[in-house]
Amino acid sequence: AGGAFMPLEPDWPALRLRSVVESSRPLMVLTDGRHTVAPPPLEVPVLDLAQPSAPVGTLAAPGVEPAMENVAYVIHTSGSTGTPKGVMIRHQSISNRLVWQSGLLGMTSEDRVLHKAPMGFDISVNEIFLPLVNGARLVLADPGGHGDVAHLAELIERERITFLYIVASMLEVLLERDDISDAARSIRHLWCGGEALTPALYRRFRERLDATMYHGYGPAETTIGISCQVFDEDEDGAVITLGTPNPNARLYVLDPAQRPVPVGVVGEIHIGGMPLARGYLNDPVRTAQAFVPDPFGTEPGARLYRTGDLARYREDGRVDFLGRADHQVKVRGFRIELGEVEATITGHPAVRQAVATVRSGEPGGDRLVAWCVPEGDVTGTDVRDWLAARLPHYAVPGELRLLPALPLTAAGKVDRAALLALEPAPAPAVAVVGPKTDLEREIADVWAELLGRTDIGTRRNFFDVGGHSLLLVRAQTLYRRRLGKDIPLVELYDNPTVAALAAHLSRAPGGGDPELERVRAKARRGRQRAGRGPAGTVGTPEAPGERTR
């Protein structure tokens, strides 16, 4: 029809959905009431494909043939002002990637590609169209199954998947399965992006799987990814880089004056060429800030995208990634603007100041944390509920603490180091009750291993004592190893205490214990608010694009 598609995630909070629709002004929203909940009231026509068709008016002239410069799709990313940014990707950009990647992989009609990423992340476009343009088979994971390693392993083995895209944190969990060498023996190509690939993880991959590894890099503004490193079979993974630019892409490491830096000198990555997005939808100000004039371009009006990523050239021409120049972070593969989290917190009428950052070195990886200064009668639960109604689940801090004032440096700036030095926010007060059965002790031992603590007891909530979605996925693998069974991830979410899970597994749902039923009911409500659905749909890691952290 000549239009562009723009995914709206059903698990986004209603306020975020309305905000995105209001700012992007689509002609229509398509939904399917058979498979997802109805969207909130929107100021645009909504067509439910599950309902009998009704006249909706003419939206486009028949026979329109899109030009390569037309927008193909719009993907929303986190914005530092608190408003998501709609990245406009052209037909030319995504076509260029698919043609190049098809040739690189040598993909044929015999290949099978697994699609598991939520549609709100641009890698889903890659997963869907890469097999289709090659006549290969597209295999669909269950809705939300991207975070369930048991489901993924079973699907990879049953459907004989040959190409898999996965973020590093999920690859690590997948490789922990005892049966993964057999279950994933069909995989020929494994594309790892979204997070930093470590030498240790690459070596584990090489020990467990006989496949070619590709390490990709690139933000959503550059059509999923613009560079990659392809590992030879004899490489030990000691040197992991961003690789070299893909065809028709240009990558520069520049100083603040937009001059190329010498080899070994730190600069900011700027990206140009065919993969570049047109800009941000209906947002000329932020487009001008991020897409700057290209001093090296030969075409009138050429632009470079300022990534905010710091890097340096190596002698061999490849590029080392060194971190961020701003307050954008990656937590378990998710791209998060700390400014958006802070702006949303201070949007609460009873909060005066807020700071968000990442606490490193936590069990299971980095953890998003926040501190705020109230100016009225408000509790941490109030603020957390406020955030859950406005941010995706991965952008809600796992730890949130109220302070009378924020510590400052001698220069009068917020002292983030001093905040991180504070003791973590205490978990809700719950009496510590030790395990009474062998099954409770087995589960408690798994928790102790994952969380690095033994004072949890059987009645405390997994997510209140430092747990998060990725740790729950790792717990799933440990339960399989120790208890001899795969437990669906949704059952782990619905039974978030040792006692509740033990009672569930022993087929004694609470034994009439009202406390366990209260815990389960609360967990189900929380899962539904987070959009994790009624059956196996969970909010677990899947990275937007190939940006490496």
Output the domain CATH number for residue 296: 3.40.50.12780
User: Comparing C-alpha atoms, which of 271, 184, 183, 190 is closest to residue 237?
Assistant: 190
**98 lies in some domain:** no
Q: pLDDT grade, residue 402 (50/70/90)?
A: very high
Percent of the chain at pLDDT exceeding 90: 44
pLDDT at 253: 96
The DSSP line for 338-377 is HHHHHHHHHTSTTEEEEEEEEE-S-TTS-EEEEEEEESSS
Secondary structure of 384-432 in the HEC alphabet? HHHHHCCCCHHHCCCEEEECCCCCECCCCCECHHHHHHCCCCCCCCCCC
The reply to whether 376 and 228 lie within a common domain is no
Highest-scoring range by mean pLDDT, 72-81, 105-114, 228-237, 425-434: 105-114
User: Comparing C-alpha atoms, which of 191, 267, 251, 187 is closest to residue 219?
Assistant: 251
pLDDT at 127: 97
Contact (Cβ atoms closer than 8 angstroms) between residue 476 and residue 453: no
**432 lies in some domain:** no
Residues in the chain: 549
| Residue 63 scores a pLDDT above 90 | no
Can you give the CATH number for the domain in which 509 is found?
Answer: 1.10.1200.10
Least confident of 154-168, 174-188, 396-410: 396-410
Contact (Cβ atoms closer than 8 angstroms) between residue 542 and residue 117: yes
Give me the chain's average pLDDT, please.
Answer: 85
Q: In which domain, by residue range, is 462 found?
A: 438-529
pLDDT at 430: 58
| Identity of residue 410 | A
The reply to whether 417 and 446 lie within a common domain is no
Q: For residue range 485-524, list pLDDT tens digits in order.
A: 889 888 888 888 899 999 999 874 444 565 556 655 655 5
The reply to whether 263 and 114 lie within a common domain is yes
pLDDT at 442: 92
The reply to whether 69 and 127 lie within a common domain is no
The reply to whether 442 and 403 lie within a common domain is no
- At how many degrees (to 10) do helices 469-483 and 149-159 cross? 70
Q: pLDDT grade, residue 103 (50/70/90)?
A: very high
Q: For residue range 372-399, list pLDDT tens digits in order.
A: 988 888 898 899 899 988 888 888 898 8
| Residue 162 scores a pLDDT above 80 | yes
pLDDT at 56: 57
Bigger pLDDT: 139 or 507? Answer: 139
**430 lies in some domain:** no
**291 lies in some domain:** yes
| Residue 1 scores a pLDDT above 90 | no
| Residue 292 scores a pLDDT above 90 | yes
Contact residues for 214 (Cβ-Cβ < 8 A; gap 6+): 104, 189, 190, 191, 192, 228, 229, 230, 231
Residue 546 and residue 218: Cα distance in Å, rounded?
5
pLDDT at 549: 35
**449 lies in some domain:** yes
Identify the domain boundary among 289, 323, 357.
323
pLDDT at 39: 86
CB neighbourhood size of 99 (10 A): 13
**329 lies in some domain:** no
Q: pLDDT grade, residue 59 (50/70/90)?
A: low
Least confident of 148-152, 250-254, 356-360: 356-360
| Residue 150 scores a pLDDT above 70 | yes
Least confident of 199-213, 331-345, 411-425, 509-523: 509-523
The reply to whether 319 and 342 lie within a common domain is no
Highest-scoring range by mean pLDDT, 15-19, 305-309, 371-375, 504-508: 305-309
The tokens describing 220, both together, are 């959503």
**123 lies in some domain:** yes
The reply to whether 164 and 267 lie within a common domain is yes
| Residue 82 scores a pLDDT above 90 | no
pLDDT at 346: 84
pLDDT at 510: 46
Can you give the CATH number for the domain in which 365 is found?
Answer: 3.30.300.30
| Residue 54 scores a pLDDT above 60 | no
Mean pLDDT of 187-205: 89
| Residue 83 scores a pLDDT above 90 | no
The reply to whether 80 and 116 lie within a common domain is no
| Residue 344 scores a pLDDT above 90 | no
The reply to whether 120 and 62 lie within a common domain is no
| Residue 543 scores a pLDDT above 50 | no
Bigger pLDDT: 131 or 344? Answer: 131
The reply to whether 356 and 282 lie within a common domain is no
Contact (Cβ atoms closer than 8 angstroms) between residue 191 and residue 216: yes
Q: pLDDT grade, residue 540 (50/70/90)?
A: very low
Q: pLDDT grade, residue 98 (50/70/90)?
A: very high
The reply to whether 241 and 117 lie within a common domain is yes
**536 lies in some domain:** no
pLDDT at 153: 94
| Residue 414 scores a pLDDT above 70 | yes
Q: pLDDT grade, residue 61 (50/70/90)?
A: low
| Residue 428 scores a pLDDT above 70 | no
| Number of domains, the chain | 4
Cα distances from 390 to residues 9, 16, 194, 393, in angstroms, run 13, 5, 24, 9
pLDDT at 220: 93
User: Comparing C-alpha atoms, which of 329, 309, 327 is closest to residue 319?
Assistant: 309
| Identity of residue 63 | G
The tokens describing 238, both together, are 């000691």
| Residue 91 scores a pLDDT above 50 | yes
The reply to whether 399 and 454 lie within a common domain is no
